[in-house]
Structure 1
Amino acid sequence: GRDIVGDLGAYDLFITPTLTQLPRPLGYYDMSETDIDRYNAKWTDAVFAFPFNISGQPAISLPLGWSKDGVPIGVQLVGRYGDEATVLAASAQLEQEMPWRGRRPAVSG
């Protein structure tokens, strides 16, 4: 975790995708799955969150893109350790420039 914090310390914000692909459909992550290896393998989509769960850096996922089918595409902003203010300020500016308040993806299930 300290190495990650040190590696990114020179940057105000670090930007990554939120997921490696579009969000999975409702019900994909089934908590009743009994095969732990199969269950854990489903989480490989979230590899961009993993380093910051370890480092404790502030991060946020914002729906800044949308697929042709109206599925939100997340962008993750990561700040310096303890600098939640920069992450929140940048997020507020992005929401003003790219509002998503009224957008809702279709839900199935």
Structure 2
Amino acid sequence: MIKGAAAGTGKAVSPDYIEAAIWKCYEYGGQLKAADLLEAIHTNAVVSRQVAGFFEDYDILLSPTIGTLPAKIGELNANNPNVSAVEWTEQIFTYAPFTNLFNATGQPSISLPLAESKSGLPIGLQMTGKFADELTLLQLGRQLEEAMPWKDRQPAVHVSEQPQPAV
């Protein structure tokens, strides 16, 4: 993907244009052998079939979107030069353990802010459906938004409450 982005922008593949942790992931991937890639592709195919089998019996899987309350600003810092590729991946997978599987298998998912923490932070609930069945998720999302509207909910501190500069 990085090489494709570089080709599309006309810029060189360089750490000057990529966050430090992502650059380390790029370098890590460049050290892997073709056999590692083939094994990963095979594992992904096996897992994708298993997930598809699960959805033969269920229309929707409900899970949290992330594993904790939203991270504080800077807590997940992809520009931290002291984080290795493995450490970065572990941080992301720990923070959002429920999204990665479906990113890999291609299952459609939708995350909706249906809950709130005691301090008013939105808590996302992720709904995942059968492969290529985005319509069910969109219909469910619409019904939930009508039943539990969230567009006017704001946490105690919100950008709309900040003083606006004079024009």
TM, length-normalised to structure 2:
0.60
Q: Where in structure 2 are the equivalents of 1:29-108 lying within 5 Å?
A: 29-34=76-81, 35-36=83-84, 37-43=86-92, 44-105=94-155, 106=157
Q: Structure 2, unaligned stretches of length 5 or more? A: 1-47, 160-167
Aligned to 1:12: 59
Identical counterparts, % of pairs: 39
Q: Deviations over 1:13-65 (max 9, x none)?
A: 11111111111112222121122233223211211111111110110111000
CA drift at 1:107: 5.3
Q: Deviations over 1:43-93 (max 9, x none)?
A: 112111111111101101110000110111110000100000000000010
Q: Which moved more, 1:96-105 or 1:35-44?
A: 35-44
The answer (yes or no) to whether the contact 1:13–1:78 under 8 Å persists in 2 is yes
Larger radius of gyration: 2
Q: In proportion to residue count, which structure has more strand?
A: 1
Determine the C-alpha separation between the residues in 1 that align with 2:56 and 2:101. 14
Count the aligned residue pairs. Answer: 108
Structure 1 segments, 4+ long, off by >4 Å, are none
Aligned to 1:22: 69
Q: Structure 1, unaligned stretches of length 5 or more? A: none
- Cα RMSD over matched residues? 1.6
SS of residue paired to 1:61: strand
Structure 1 residue identity aligned to 2:57? A
Determine the C-alpha separation between the residues in 2 that align with 1:20 and 1:107. 23
The answer (yes or no) to whether the contact 1:61–1:76 under 8 Å persists in 2 is yes
Q: Which has the higher contact order (CA 8 A, sep 6+)?
A: 1
Structure 1 residue identity aligned to 2:110? I
Q: In proportion to residue count, which structure has more helix?
A: 2
